[in-house]
Structure 1
Amino acid sequence: MTSTNGGSEDLQAIREGVAAVCARFGDDYWGRCDDEATFPRDFHRAMAEGGWLGVTMPEAYGGAGLGVRAAGTVMHEVARHGGGMAAASSIHINMFGPHPLVVHGTEDQKSRWIPRLVSGEDQVCFGVTEPDAGLDTTNIKTFATKVDGGYSITGRKIWTSTAQVANKILILTRTTRREDCRKPTEGITVFYTDLDRSKVEVKRIPKHGRAAVDSNLTYYDELFVPDDHRIGEEGRGFYYLLDSLNPERILIALEAIGMGEDALDRAARYARERVVFGRPIGQNQAIQHPLAECWAKLEAARLMAERAADLYDSGQPCGAEANGAKLLGARAGYDACLQAVMTHGGMGYAKEYVVERLLREVMINRIAPVSEQMILSFIGERVLGLPKSY
């Protein structure tokens, strides 16, 4: 792809370019990936060849150097072409997952590692969440002990996506015990390193949807990480992680909205074509009105997400808008996918019509990477000035 400045014409060019790649991968392709639980390597490769994995990466390292609005345009378009979260999750981490490396890495680290992410030669997974910590990130127990020449990491992570196929990991660890720190947010360190499977056990988690993109438990048994694989200062990792939280919420919102739009298009088409009692079912207001309401909710959520992206790209605070977009986008996407299944009736339960898969996959966006309850608490405290509830 050629670099653009993120204007409306440029965003339209991004849409058209991404859509052209997505058009090569139809419902049969995504159905096979889901049925066989196989990573969509051909799609990932095609997106890399088109330059779309480097949208947010600096131009100096082969990327396009664009912002969240452009990244959101890519992910929205990817999600609305039938691949759902299988397509989106296969490339999602490239957008802002490596942000700590881009912002806080040394020149040597960036020049060695970013071009390989842009080209698709390297694939990275993200190790943050732990079974006993969940959203309480400061309570992680995975520990990096200082040894000669580097660190030795021992611990476990959960919901590490793409660890079955990744060769790199961006991992968050403690380097100082929480009880020994002045503040719980201190003593956490980020590393970007090789996923050495002789020291890391990767165990796949069977799950409700998005079978094509694996989620895993990962166990670390004295994984050695050289000093020069540490990102930034020791103990500052939690603050580095914050850099990517708002962009991720915006992208998750737009992915859900894209899936909702796809489901809505399929439902409207079926409602036009399906004839019962001598008339298309779409002629009935009981079918029309719920679908029309889904359209309105999807459009409103998209405007919120775009507003959040514009604020982020202009360097303004966007925490409330990003969280609000994630809440509204995920709910609007889910509601549209659910209504699409209901519109299809019994056939909505059949894999042939795809909407059942979209419904299974869009559930992820309501759950991850932050719960609806935490979002509402954030807005209650930070926007409405209410006392902290937890």
Structure 2
Amino acid sequence: MSTLISIIVLSLVTAGIFYLQLPRRRGAVIFALTWLLAGTAEDAFLHPVALIVLLAILAVVLHSGFRRMVLSKPARKALQKMMPPMSATEKEALDAGTTWWEKDLFSGKPDWNQFDAIELSSLTEREQAFVDGEVDELCAMLDEWDIHHHRKDMPEEVWQFIKDKGFLGLIIPEEYGGLHFSPYAQSRVVSKIASRSTVASVSVMVPNSLGPGELLVKYGTKEQCDYWLPRLARGEEIPCFGLTSPEAGSDAGAIPDRGVVCRGEYKGEETLGIRLSFSKRWITLAPVATVVGLAFKLYDPDSLLGEGEERGICCALVPADLPGMEIGRRHNPGAAFMNGPLTGKDVFIPMELLIGGQDYIGRGWQMLAECLGAGRGISLPALSTAAGEMSYLTVGAFARIRRQFGIEVGKFEGVQEATAEIAGGAYMLEAYRAFVTRGLADGAPSVMTAMAKYHATETMRRLVNHGMDVLGGRGIQLGPRNFMALVYQTIPIAITVEGANILTRSMMIFGQGAIRCHPYLADELLAFEGEGEEVEARFDELFSAHLGHTFSTFSRAALLGVSGGLLGKVEQGDSFSRRWLKQLDRYCAVFAATADIALVTLGGDLKRREMLSARLGDAHSQLVIACAIIKYRQQQPVSEAGDLHAEYALRQSFAAINEALAALYRNMPQRWMGRLLKLKFFPYGFPVAAPDDDLIRKLGNLIMVPNPVREALSEAVYISDDPEDATGRINVTYQRLLEVERHYNLFLEAEAKGVISGSNLDELAASAVEKKVLTAEQAQKVADYDRLRYECLLTDAFDRQLDKVDIRIARP
């Protein structure tokens, strides 16, 4: 028995050493003293063999030469065999972009003081004026049904307005005539337009995402910037960017398009340039573009640039009217924005059109990886946020207007399961947008923007699907009255572009996150290359630190687990925030320890075990999302409604982490390892449950009534007050209901009880006045509302050719 007690004490002391992250020498002394003290109770610890083991442990910890000989050198050789060699593209990706708070979370012990200091971005006076002025004016000009089903394009006056008012130059510096808005402001502009028209928002977002403008701002020569940026800002040039090819979509590094260095003629003079042939597909704005950004692989078979034939990926800016360019055809992506193929045959491009000039030859992949963040972190999440917020506002209103079996449909618990998720999801999307764009203001966090693209668009998919379920037939019948169907049709677009969601989740998020965010992994991978004393010493330093990190996170996760989280200390924020930050602190330790153990046990095979990698990515992503929710809630005015929305969104986030970790533990190749990790980290089960029925009912009711969250979300979108408009009709009807609801309920109750009678609405209203249920004024307002209500529930009818709208539905 004493042996068991001694082992337990020694194990707890060891865990405590790593939990407190004591310096190496101090920890070694405490460990040795504990071992020797254990020997006073159990002679086995003082046995010569046991003492040799103790000395060996101390030598590994304290003596670098011995450690390198028995541990790090064999480990390096084994890992070199396990880990696949890094490709040139992967090495370039390591140098591209930055990291932000997602790296702190990956460490397993984030600095909550640093988190507390984060201030979410807000609009400047100039940005707010643009959102309230030019953006609202543009939104009022848009009719998505007309654009989508009749014109197949935006009206010319809309295009001209977009050009004249600077919508194509949101990211271009002011000295070149652009607006130079912050990432948050760009997101707010795009999402407000998206709340009105997907076609218009895509047309605006593309020139401000990955494209010539951003590439020129970051990498262009002075001459290129001076010429092109003012023209782009004024809308004199419409840009597009050709990256994806028929056989190279998400695997952009495999683009087959080939350019060859040669001499040729440009503007009547012979010059050094590139002869390029290419075939691009799915390029937004390509049919109307006047200047095309192109990514291609460059070769120099005649060594005109010096030694070396393969020159890597390059980016060039090509006028659309160059000989050999074929442009103008359209794809049909299911929405009416301009999208089409680009092809070129033997197009001659002078070196001056290479973005950044010859200094940036071969750096195209790094340039693209850094610039993809705008599309992933700003534009697509902005579209998703708009869809979520409009679902909240319109479906919430509809659920209160539409009645079945004598009550609002939004009060049925089955419906509330859907509407509560819409409410919590919309709140999360707004929080996530604010958090991610704050990170983008500090750099280009490629991992976090990949998370944002995937989880924002998937959340949009889920919320819009719920909205369609609640609307029922009102949602599926197409026509100018339908406020949801065209958004529903665009879901496949959002989840496909800027990297297909399946690959983003299964390969990119954790694949990049493990390398970019882990404290040691990237440097270790680089240390696999080369030989010699210096390289081995560097690897030993990194590997021993990595082991210490793994033992530390494992100890923290295990001790926090066995204590039920009581050992966790988080003092930042109010009581609501502290409660959730303590859980986050614990889950961060669990995630970091789990990720490290998965990396050690699976090695390079983890890259191929995409389902396991995806689950680790899900857990990491949801940690970021939970932080976004907490931060957003902290910086909003405190309200009960806000807390309920945040509570629901946080529970959804932690439930997703629980699901990801449980599936990971179940499916680890060493099943015993998975069971052990779950037992160590969650001995009493997962500590955070999904939203319960009571919370679902509360949110299902909140989405139907005015509340601070509804007001905050309304500020980010465009809601028409035109009763003949798709969204305006439901908004006007909802606002009228709020005015007359008490009297309307009296009217309905009196009708149900037979107190009033009549064969139509007017007769019922007159009867209500006669029976003194309502005054004449109240009865008139109720009748006026009921006509609006009935009109609001109608769907469009057409002639037999589905061409002209022809309602003519008589009210019974």
TM norm structure 1 = 0.88
Deviations 1:291-325 (Å, cap 9, x if unpaired)? 2211212221332232222122123x623321221
Structure 2 equivalent of residue 259 of structure 1: 387
Match for residue 130 of structure 1 among 211, 231, 245: 245
* Amino acid in structure 2 at the alignment position of 1:379: I
Distance 1:8 1:266 in 2: 25
Structure 1 residue 368 displacement after superposition:
1.4
Structure 1 equivalent of residue 296 of structure 2: 173
* Amino acid in structure 1 at the alignment position of 2:203: S
Distance 1:103 1:136 in 2: 23
Structure 2 equivalent of residue 371 of structure 1: 500
SS in 2 for 1:47: helix
Structure 2 equivalent of residue 388 of structure 1: 607
Structure 1 residue 18 displacement after superposition:
5.0
Match for residue 246 of structure 1 among 373, 377, 389: 373
Counterparts in 2 of 1:92-171, with a 5 A limit?
92-96=205-209, 97-98=211-212, 99-148=214-263, 149=271, 150-171=273-294
Structure 1 equivalent of residue 477 of structure 2: 350
CA RMSD across the alignment:
2.6
CA contact (8 A) 2:286 2:339 kept: yes
Q: Is 2:426 aligned against 1:303?
A: no
Q: Is 2:164 aligned against 1:35?
A: no
Q: Is 2:414 aligned against 1:323?
A: no
Structure 1 residue 60 displacement after superposition:
1.2
Deviations 1:345-386 (Å, cap 9, x if unpaired)? 112112231311101113211111112233323332324454
Q: Is 2:348 aligned against 1:227?
A: no
Q: 1:218 to 1:37 in 2, by over 3 A?
A: farther
Distance 1:379 1:193 in 2: 33
Distance 2:197 2:351 in 1: 39
Structure 2 equivalent of residue 283 of structure 1: 411
Q: 1:46 to 1:141 in 2, by over 3 A?
A: same
Higher strand share: 1
Structure 1 residue 105 displacement after superposition:
0.9
Structure 1 residue 14 displacement after superposition:
4.4
CA contact (8 A) 2:370 2:446 kept: no
* Amino acid in structure 2 at the alignment position of 1:331: E
Distance 1:284 1:25 in 2: 38
Query: Which ranges in structure 1 are unaligned for 5 or more consecutive residues?
Result: 1-5
* Amino acid in structure 2 at the alignment position of 1:146: V
* Amino acid in structure 1 at the alignment position of 2:285: T
* Amino acid in structure 1 at the alignment position of 2:376: R
Structure 1 residue 91 displacement after superposition:
1.1
Deviations 1:2-47 (Å, cap 9, x if unpaired)? xxxx644545444323541243234xx2111111363324333323
Q: Is 2:312 aligned against 1:191?
A: no
Deviations 1:135-158 (Å, cap 9, x if unpaired)? 222211111222322222212011
Q: 1:23 to 1:155 in 2, by over 3 A?
A: closer
User: How many positions carry a matched residue from both structures?
Assistant: 375
CA contact (8 A) 2:450 2:504 kept: yes
Structure 1 residue 230 displacement after superposition:
1.1
Distance 2:322 2:491 in 1: 31
CA contact (8 A) 1:53 1:91 kept: yes
Distance 2:397 2:135 in 1: 20
Q: Is 2:185 aligned against 1:58?
A: no
Q: Is 2:331 aligned against 1:205?
A: yes
Distance 1:188 1:9 in 2: 38
Q: Is 2:213 aligned against 1:89?
A: no
CA contact (8 A) 2:203 2:338 kept: no
Q: 1:216 to 1:51 in 2, by over 3 A?
A: closer
Q: 1:318 to 1:306 in 2, by over 3 A?
A: farther
Q: 1:288 to 1:172 in 2, by over 3 A?
A: same
Higher helix share: 2
SS in 2 for 1:187: strand
Distance 2:427 2:182 in 1: 21
CA contact (8 A) 2:418 2:470 kept: no
| Larger CA deviation: 244-253 vs 257-266 | 257-266
SS in 1 for 2:472: helix
SS in 1 for 2:288: coil
* Amino acid in structure 1 at the alignment position of 2:377: I
Q: 1:37 to 1:331 in 2, by over 3 A?
A: farther
Structure 2 equivalent of residue 3 of structure 1: none
CA contact (8 A) 1:163 1:215 kept: yes
Distance 2:362 2:157 in 1: 39
Distance 2:445 2:433 in 1: 10
CA contact (8 A) 1:37 1:213 kept: no
CA contact (8 A) 2:317 2:353 kept: yes
Distance 2:319 2:500 in 1: 30
Query: Which ranges in structure 2 are unaligned for 5 or more consecutive residues?
Result: 1-120, 264-270, 304-309, 515-594, 600-605, 611-812
Distance 1:198 1:186 in 2: 24
Deviations 1:96-129 (Å, cap 9, x if unpaired)? 3221111111111111111111111111111000
Match for residue 215 of structure 1 among 339, 342, 346: 339
Deviations 1:209-228 (Å, cap 9, x if unpaired)? 21x11322222111222221
